[in-house]
Structure 1
Amino acid sequence: MKVRIITFALCFMGILATAQTKVGSINSEYIVGLMPEAKKVLSLLNDYAKRLDSSYQIKLKEYQGKVDAFQKLGPEISDNFKKIKIDELGDLEKKLQLTQQNGSKLLQLKKNELMRPLYKKLTDAIAVIAKAEGYTQILTTSGNEFAYIDEKFDLTQKVMDKLGVKIPKENKK
């Protein structure tokens, strides 16, 4: 009977030993920010933002011109005409706000579109390292809070080496 219990215990411990997971961490935002392609993405994003802003500025000037014209109207205009002009200015103001909101959304969509290839490249490099070193999970430290992270499982430098990304001299510890 003791032999069966000991055999069962050894088998159970063997199963537990093979079922353990290996978890690593990575600072993905840091790596993406240092990738050479990130500078090109930032430049393209700035150009896109300027185009969106120029469109907004045109509408803003049109709105401001109509506000100035309304303020120059004399007291002799009818209340009916004032109401029409105020409604017209209110509609223009709503359109201006909508243009600004749409511009922000379009800018975010463009950023996501331009950043997608960088994150794909990063994900592929992480997968290669994780498989080669037997990691079952890799957590990103970007934007998350952890109570404890063992530095020996931080793969940030290995992934940077795989991608050929170098730490700038002013950021080295």
Structure 2
Amino acid sequence: MKFLKIAVFFISLSTFAQGKVGAVDIEYILSKMPELTSVQTEMETYGKSLDVDLNKKIDEYKALLEEYKKDEATFSAERKKEKQTALMTLDSDIQKFQQNGAKLMEIRRQEALKPLYAKIGQALEKVAKQQGYTQVTRATQDIVYLDPAYDLTVPILLELGISVSAEEAEGN
């Protein structure tokens, strides 16, 4: 029985040793993709539209506050309470809009980058299969040392049709 356990252990080690593990820096590849420029432009445009909407709300709040201050003395108690409630509601809306703005930007960013990540994923799969890799990890996550021979970043850039400098190509 002990012999069987040892045999199984060594067989599993030899099976594991047959796997080829590589790494890739996806964020670096993304930064080199020409399509990223259009994503950045789209994000800037979207951010500006959010700013315009926020400024409209702020202007509306300022106008309502100015009206309230100017005519406060002439308001009935009920009208005064309505205006105060409207001001508080608008103030709350502005705060929520500011808080949600960052979330909206991140959601839009993820949606815009999804096709680029899909393109990287397809190239990664093709290169990994061509070069016989069974596993590929992200080079940016807890890797202390990576032999350049196992870095798939440059081959993936080339697969995507992105030119690389001599230093980048030499590193691989």
Deviations 1:87-128 (A, max 9, x none): 321111111122233433332222222111111110011101
| TM-score normalised per structure 1 | 0.76
| TM-score normalised per structure 2 | 0.77
The answer as to 2:66 corresponding to 1:68 is yes
Deviations 1:42-84 (A, max 9, x none): 1122122222221221111101222233344566766665544
Sequence identity (%): 33
- Consecutive unaligned residues of structure 1, counting only runs of 5 or more, are none
- Consecutive unaligned residues of structure 2, counting only runs of 5 or more, are none
Q: Which amino acid aligns with 1:132?
A: Q
Q: Is the 8 A contact 1:31 1:165 kept in 2?
A: no
Residue 37 of structure 1: CA displacement? 0.7
2:101 to 74, 93, 103: 103
Output the aligned Cα RMSD.
Answer: 3.1
Q: Which amino acid aligns with 1:52?
A: L
2:152 to 151, 155, 172: 155
Q: Distance in 2 between matches of 1:103 and 1:15?
A: 51
Q: Which residue of 2 aligns with 1:23?
A: 21
Q: Is the 8 A contact 1:35 1:165 kept in 2?
A: yes
1:37 to 35, 38, 47: 35
Deviations 1:14-38 (A, max 9, x none): 6633432221111101111110111
1:89 to 87, 90, 104: 87
